[in-house]
Amino acid sequence: MKKVLLVLSLCLMLCGCNNKEKDVYDIMKENEHIIIDVRTEEEYDESHIEDAINIPYDELDEDIDLDKDKIIFVYCKSGGRSEIAFKTLTDLGYTVYDLGAFSNIDLPKER
């Protein structure tokens, strides 16, 4: 029940505000999280969000071992693969937010 309330409140925060990045920053500051770049290794090596790990979307399955107590953020190049990753991880019981397209994310990036 606690997880459901947390998910609902976080969804309302993300959907109810015009400044999505501000909300993402707040969630990241207040909660333990994992950022997953679901693009290919080559795309990740070109540039990625600071502290993100690379797990291509097609490698996300029931064998993945991530901390279910952490909020997971996913992103890709244009939003298609992150949408698939969002659904996959949500179906596996994780709390997930889809950040969408890499170029639209206003978070620090590494090369």
15 flagged as catalytic: no
∠ CA 37-42-47, nearest 5°, is: 60
Within its chain, how far is the Cα of 53 from the centroid?
Answer: 10
E-only strand ranges, 4-111 = 33-37, 48-49, 53-54, 71-76, 95-101, 109-110
Q: Which two tokens stand for residue 111?
A: 């090369």
Angle, helices 20-30/2-15, rounded to nearest 10 degrees = 150
* Residues designated catalytic: 76
